[in-house]
């Protein structure tokens, strides 16, 4: 057994919380982050004074972990602030697990908040600021509508190479909506048909507005502790069985094959560490910033062969009652997407494995796979969680 | 290479050549592979023995997307990824082709033109007058 494999099941999520989903009028992102953090800490049966590890990052503030520590009144012995875009709060799992297992700290709070929908400084200003602070001189002059155009380029290539259809992409959005209809916290719950997705306004071919994730506010948090301690806390422990992050490129123009993401590396590594195969996975939470993401990740993670993602999701394959429950909260497409969505993947997986997911509960779910994506198909982070009976 | 500034990094060197109407990319003197975009090391083998050369300019569309915009905002435009014969890929756009006529696999040829923010490499469908 490698040192990495020996971390399997050694830490557990003891608490989760969220705040400000949808539109957090009148609140700052720090305020809703702190509300989510307080809920996660309380859910874990702990107090903020017990938190001695902090993992967080922001898409605008480069030194974000310091104001968060200051605001929450923490003096963390472990800080993880790696910024990998939306996958960050999945990629924070492994370093946090190492810090807990080594004894560097005893309780890690992972947290994120954004008021991108209601803040005066909005998404368009953010895009403009990033083009100055983080220039991409070989892409920006061609005015890709980022991040949408990058994902559209991947979708177009997948359609060309494998015969994937817009209807199959639309299936992903329709399945997400059907799950959202079972989740009272989801932003969009009205019925959505394949035709609705196809007939929505085209943004960057072949993606319409309904192939794209929501733009919402929202904050999320979870608390990690060592497994032995988790068993003494109020909630059923959800064990971290495996976790890995992979980055192959940043820009879509530097991606070798637009139909294969670094999830093809992070997935097998995380599953290997967990000692489970995809056939053991009861529920999958896959970062669906755009409909093409879900197809790519189903293929790269090994749920189906390369090119067969479209067929996998067809006829409600990932909707309630389908072959694999995917994005059971409604996903970034229909539940919530505050700029970076990764933390909500973890929160939903934990709720499913605790059997606390209400009407959308996957019966008997014991193994959950979480997959975070960041940038423009750039960073890929996979985690495997097991329910209380898996350790 | 004429007019090459010995003090400029590869990015400035690339755009300076474009400003003179010349599209030049790097080829590694050690592994003999081309790379795009220009760097201070070879992304394939790590060597710093990089040379500049004008590519053939011939490529094929690897993927593309049409960004939809209201006519009053300037109308639709395409963003393409083009694979050059030298084995490199770059983001660009294909000019002079209606969105419906643009397709993956289409042969294209590079051309340097002035853009809003400076000189730019764009592509024309091969056989179509620029």
Around B13, how many Cα atoms within 13 Å sit in the side-chain half-sphere? 21
Chain A 122-141, residues with CB within 8 Å of chain B CB atoms: 137-141
Joined tokens for residue B47: 């060597």
pLDDT at A343 exceeding the cut of 80: yes
State residue B115's pLDDT score.
85
| CA–CA distance, B7 with B12 (Å, rounded to integer) | 10
- The length of chain A, given as a count of residues: 391
pLDDT at A152 exceeding the cut of 60: yes
- Contacting residues of B for A138, CB less than 8 Å apart: 36-37, 90-91
| CA–CA distance, A32 with A218 (Å, rounded to integer) | 7
Residue A145 domain-assigned (yes or no): no
pLDDT at A211 exceeding the cut of 60: yes
Q: How confident is the model at residue B43 (pLDDT cuts 50, 70, 90)?
A: very high
Residue A183 domain-assigned (yes or no): no
CB atoms under 10 Å from CB of A307, counted, come to 15
Residue A153 domain-assigned (yes or no): no
Size of interface A-B (CB pairs under 8 A): 75
CB atoms under 10 Å from CB of B82, counted, come to 26
Contact A270, A382 (CB under 8 A): yes
| CA–CA distance, A136 with B37 (Å, rounded to integer) | 10
Mean pLDDT of chain A: 96
pLDDT at A76 exceeding the cut of 50: yes
| CA–CA distance, A110 with A222 (Å, rounded to integer) | 5
State residue B127's pLDDT score.
67
Residue A391 domain-assigned (yes or no): no
State residue A122's pLDDT score.
64
| CA–CA distance, A99 with A104 (Å, rounded to integer) | 5
What letters, b where the CB count within 10 A reaches 16 and e where it falls short, cover A36-49? bbbbbbebbebeee
| CA–CA distance, A43 with A233 (Å, rounded to integer) | 9
Cis before residue B37, ω within 30 degrees of 0?
yes
| CA–CA distance, A92 with A238 (Å, rounded to integer) | 16
| CA–CA distance, B34 with B28 (Å, rounded to integer) | 6
Cβ distance A143 to B118 less than 8 Å, yes or no, reads: no
- The complex's ipTM? 0.95
| CA–CA distance, A134 with A128 (Å, rounded to integer) | 10
pLDDT at B5 exceeding the cut of 90: no
State residue A121's pLDDT score.
66
pLDDT at B129 exceeding the cut of 70: no
Average pLDDT over residues B40-55: 97
**Which of A150, A152, A156, A201 has the highest number of chain B CBs within 10 A, making it the mutation to test binding with B?**
A156
Give the residue ranges of DSSP H helices in chain A. Answer: 29-43, 65-72, 88-91, 93-102, 123-133, 148-162, 166-180, 194-199, 227-230, 263-274, 291-300, 309-313, 331-334, 342-353
pLDDT at B4 exceeding the cut of 70: no
Joined tokens for residue A249: 């490129």
State residue A124's pLDDT score.
75
**CA angle centred on A52, ends A51 and A57, rounded to 5°:** 90
Residue A130: partners with Cβ closer than 8 Å, 6 or more residues away: none
State residue B6's pLDDT score.
62
Chain A 352-371, residues with CB within 8 Å of chain B CB atoms: none
State residue A1's pLDDT score.
82
pLDDT at A96 exceeding the cut of 90: yes
| CA–CA distance, A250 with A140 (Å, rounded to integer) | 14
Beta-bridge partners for B66: B78
Give me the domain span that covers residue A314: 5-119+214-386
| CA–CA distance, B79 with B64 (Å, rounded to integer) | 6
Which chain B residues touch A if contact means CB-CB below 8 Å? 11, 15, 36-37, 62-68, 77, 79, 81, 89-93, 99, 104-105, 115-118, 120
Pairing status of strand A283-286 against strand A367-374: parallel
| CA–CA distance, A297 with A210 (Å, rounded to integer) | 19
Burial of B114 (0-12, 13-18, 19+ CB in 10 A): exposed
State residue A252's pLDDT score.
98
Residue A144 domain-assigned (yes or no): no
The CATH number of whichever domain residue A267 belongs to comes to 3.40.47.10
Measured CA distances, B112 to B9, B39, B67, B127 (Å): 21, 20, 22, 17
Q: Does A228 touch chain B (CB under 8 A)?
A: no
Residue A177 domain-assigned (yes or no): no
Residue A202 domain-assigned (yes or no): no
Cis before residue A206, ω within 30 degrees of 0?
yes
Element (H, E) at B11: helix B10-19
Cβ distance B91 to A160 less than 8 Å, yes or no, reads: no
- Contacting residues of A for B63, CB less than 8 Å apart: 153-154, 156-157, 160, 258
Following DSSP, what letter does each residue of A251-305 receive, concatenated? SGGG-S-TT--THHHHHHHHHHHHT--GGG-SEEEE--SBHHHHHHHHHHTTSS-
Residue A96 domain-assigned (yes or no): yes
Joined tokens for residue A175: 């399945």
Which of A66, A290, A300, A329 shows the shortest CA–CA distance to A186? A329
- Contacting residues of A for B115, CB less than 8 Å apart: 141
What digits encode the pLDDT tens for the residues B61-106? 999 999 999 999 999 999 999 999 999 999 999 999 999 899 999 9
What letters, b where the CB count within 10 A reaches 16 and e where it falls short, cover A369-381? bbbbbbbbbbbbb
Percent of chain B topping pLDDT 70: 92
How many structural domains compose chain A?
A: 1
Average pLDDT over residues A132-149: 94
Rounded to a whole number of angstroms, the distance from the CA of A163 to the nearest CA of chain B is 13
Average pLDDT over residues A254-262: 98
Average pLDDT over residues A354-373: 98
Contact A319, A328 (CB under 8 A): no
Q: How confident is the model at residue A123 (pLDDT cuts 50, 70, 90)?
A: low
Q: How confident is the model at residue A126 (pLDDT cuts 50, 70, 90)?
A: confident
What digits encode the pLDDT tens for the residues A7-28? 999 999 999 999 999 999 999 9
pLDDT at A389 exceeding the cut of 80: yes
What digits encode the pLDDT tens for the residues A20-68? 999 999 999 999 999 999 999 999 999 999 999 999 999 989 999 999 9
């Amino acid at each position: 057994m490698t040192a990495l494999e020996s971390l399997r099941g050694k830490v557990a999520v003891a608490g989760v919380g969220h705040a400000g989903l949808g539109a957090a009028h009148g609140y700052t992102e720090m305020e809703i982050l702190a509300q989510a953090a307080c809920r996660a800490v309380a859910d874990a049966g702990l107090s903020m004074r017990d938190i001695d590890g902090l993992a967080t990052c922001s898409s605008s503030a480069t030194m974000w972990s310091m104001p968060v520590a200051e605001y929450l009144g923490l003096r963390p012995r472990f800080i993880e602030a790696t910024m990998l875009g939306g996958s960050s709060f999945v990629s924070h799992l492994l370093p946090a697990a190492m810090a807990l297992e080594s004894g560097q700290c005893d309780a890690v709070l992972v947290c994120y908040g954004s008021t991108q929908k209601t803040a005066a400084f909005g998404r368009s200003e953010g895009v403009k600021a990033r083009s100055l602070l983080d220039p991409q001189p070989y892409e920006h002059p061609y005015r890709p509508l980022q991040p949408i155009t990058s994902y559209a380029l991947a979708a177009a290539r997948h359609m060309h190479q494998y015969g994937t259809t817009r209807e199959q992409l639309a299936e992903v959005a329709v399945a997400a909506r059907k799950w959202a209809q079972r989740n009272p916290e989801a932003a969009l719950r009205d019925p959505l048909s394949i035709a609705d997705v196809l007939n929505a306004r085209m943004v960057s071919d072949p993606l319409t507005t309904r192939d794209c994730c929501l733009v919402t506010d929202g904050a999320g948090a979870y608390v990690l502790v060592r497994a032995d301690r988790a068993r003494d806390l109020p909630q059923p422990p959800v064990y971290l069985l495996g976790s890995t992050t992979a980055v192959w490129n940043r820009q879509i123009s530097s991606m070798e094959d637009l139909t294969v993401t670094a999830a093809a590396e992070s997935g097998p590594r995380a599953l290997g560490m967990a000692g489970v195969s995809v056939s053991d996975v009861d529920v999958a939470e896959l970062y669906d910033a755009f409909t093409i993401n879900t197809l790519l990740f189903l293929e790269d993670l090994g749920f189906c062969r390369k090119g067969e993602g479209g067929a996998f999701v067809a006829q409600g394959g990932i909707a309630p009652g389908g072959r694999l429950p995917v994005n059971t909260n409604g996903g970034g497409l229909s539940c919530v997407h505050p700029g970076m969505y990764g933390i909500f993947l973890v929160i939903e997986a934990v709720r499913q494995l605790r059997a606390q997911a209400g009407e959308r509960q996957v019966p008997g779910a014991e193994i959950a796979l979480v997959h975070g994506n960041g940038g423009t198909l750039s960073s890929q982070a996979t985690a495997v969680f097991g329910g209380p009976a898996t350790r | 290479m004429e007019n090459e500034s010995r003090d400029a990094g590869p990015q400035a060197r690339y755009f300076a050549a474009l400003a003179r109407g010349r599209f030049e990319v790097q080829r590694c003197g050690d592994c003999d592979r081309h790379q795009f975009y220009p760097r201070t090391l070879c992304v394939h083998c790590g060597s710093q023995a990089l040379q500049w050369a004008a590519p053939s300019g011939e490529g094929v569309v690897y993927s593309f997307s049409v960004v939809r915009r209201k006519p009053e905002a300037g109308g639709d435009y395409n963003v393409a990824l083009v694979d050059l014969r030298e084995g490199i890929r770059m983001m660009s756009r294909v000019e002079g082709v209606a969105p419906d006529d643009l397709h993956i696999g289409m042969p294209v040829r590079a051309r340097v033109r002035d853009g809003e923010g400076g000189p730019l490499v764009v592509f024309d469908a091969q056989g179509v007058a620029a």
